[in-house]
Amino acid sequence: MDMRQTFEGLLDYWGGKTPDKEAVYDGLRRMSYGELKREAGQLAKALACLNIQAGDKVLAILPNWHEFIVLFFALAKMEAVLVPCGVSLTAKEISQRCQMIQPKLAFVSGHDQLRWLEAEAGCCKIIAVRFEDKKAMGYSELLALGEKNREQKLPGKRQDEVMCTIIFTSGTTGAPKGVELTDRSIMQTAISIGIRLESSHRDVFLVPLPCTHLFGIVTGMVVPLYVGAKIVIMERFRAKEALKLIEQEQITVHHGVPTMFIRELEDYKGHEVNLQSLRTGVAAGAICSEEVLKKITDIFKFNLMVAYGLTEFVGVSMTTLSDTIEDRLKTVGKPYEGIQVRAVHESGRTAEPGEVGELCCKGYGAMKGYYQLPAQTRKVLDAEGWLHTGDLARIDERGYITIVGRKKEVIIRGGYNIYPREIEEVYYNHPEVMEACVIGLPHQDLGEQTVAFIQLKSHSQQTAALLREYAKGKIAKYKVPDRVLLVEQLPKLSNGKIDKRELGKMAVSL
């Protein structure tokens, strides 16, 4: 068996084969594969000294630092469960997660997080990373403990189907839920993505995505380390810095959510850098408009792929380098090998090719379930193993998938169904529109009305009235937005997605 197909074996493989090759650069430290292997081993031994055992939950409230990557692989050696949380979470949100999972240990990156965790009843032991506090053990102190106890025994190989991480959903449609994922679901998906990207040890990956989210963990961290490539992780995404890093580090693979690429396109006009090293990358995490994808391909001149997945199903589909430009622009590709998909009508009937239905998926990418929420799990994961995604899609006769929108976000206006993406595509074709997002809001007569939030490019003289007029004749009359609201910036979640719940609140006050 290939050692790389297990998390505990992956670093042993590259750490032995290419120990001096650079593995990670986070803006502060450059780590070789040998150093990454050694430090993960030290941390695992230290965790064993702290009595961390198989199945124990370990909270990680860390930004994109090399310490997060070390922790990920150390916990794999320990058969413990990683629970990553974004650094932007509030005290209340952290408290909710602690009460749900009861962590035995927590890694934090600031005094506020430490104080919030201390306030929890029966607080777990806390490790301070990159700061000092008398109430917590420091990360370097923990590594020293592991080095001192080199003979400490570690558990054996973890089973593929054992839970390795709990990732919380973004909570855009309700309270966040903890999604239980296994080694196999993450590793096998990473291998599938690497094959589609034709990745190798020669690649250099830019990772501006939070490693506390699934896109960042799987596509940004596991894929490159599986092939022995180099990762350049950004603590916080800034378009100008990302562009500079592409030139400085000779990035070949660039991942991101659509918003990140939109920002880069805008900044590139005034701060052109050499992007010739770029080979490919992945746009995912939200629906990317055809116009934006076309601009990225034309201006940055690299083969950007489009992928589709969700927290509850790690990876579903992706385009390939051999796909036509049209298929890359209009679809999210075909399912990965071993993944089954189908579109299903409300009646339960499987949709015909080209018909819209809820996308259902089956295979190794599926979650085990929502942590301690069996009733919620049964609502989306049926007895036959089909995960009901809540996304509406068309599957053509070749097997290519086109995402139409979220089932819960379909706007029913005067009896007509409107998919927000149809309207957003119109505005992304407008030369002065930076970003657009359409939502539905209750209306006394129509049932729902359409509201388009528009963020204009700098120095634009467009008005809401002009933008509403712009849509006329480009889409059916009933799809023209009832309201157009101009905003300085669209609110974002920590994973880069547009916060539609916040937009709903804004619409009431604007």
Domains of the chain by start residue, with CATH: 32-158 (3.40.50.980), 181-407 (3.40.50.12780), 410-509 (3.30.300.30)
* One-letter amino acid for residue 223 of the chain: V
pLDDT at site 510: 72
**Is pLDDT at 173 greater than 60 in this prediction?**
no
Rounded to 10 degrees, what is the CA torsion of 367, 368, 373, 376? 50
Cα-to-chain-centroid distance, residue 228: 21
pLDDT tens per residue, range 342-371: 999 988 899 999 999 999 999 999 999 999
Pairing mode of beta strands 334-335, 313-318: antiparallel
User: Would you say the C-alpha torsion 95, 215, 66, 105 has a positive or negative sign?
Assistant: positive
DSSP 82-97: EEE--TT--HHHHHHH
pLDDT at site 27: 95
pLDDT at site 153: 80
What proportion of the chain, given as a percentage, has pLDDT over 70?
97
pLDDT tens per residue, range 52-96: 999 999 999 999 999 999 999 999 998 899 999 999 888 888 998
pLDDT at site 1: 54
Alpha-carbon span 21 to 33, nearest angstrom:
6
**Is pLDDT at 308 greater than 70 in this prediction?**
yes
489: exposed, middle or buried (C-beta count within 10 Å: 0-12, 13-18, 19+)? exposed
The pTM for the full model equals 0.88
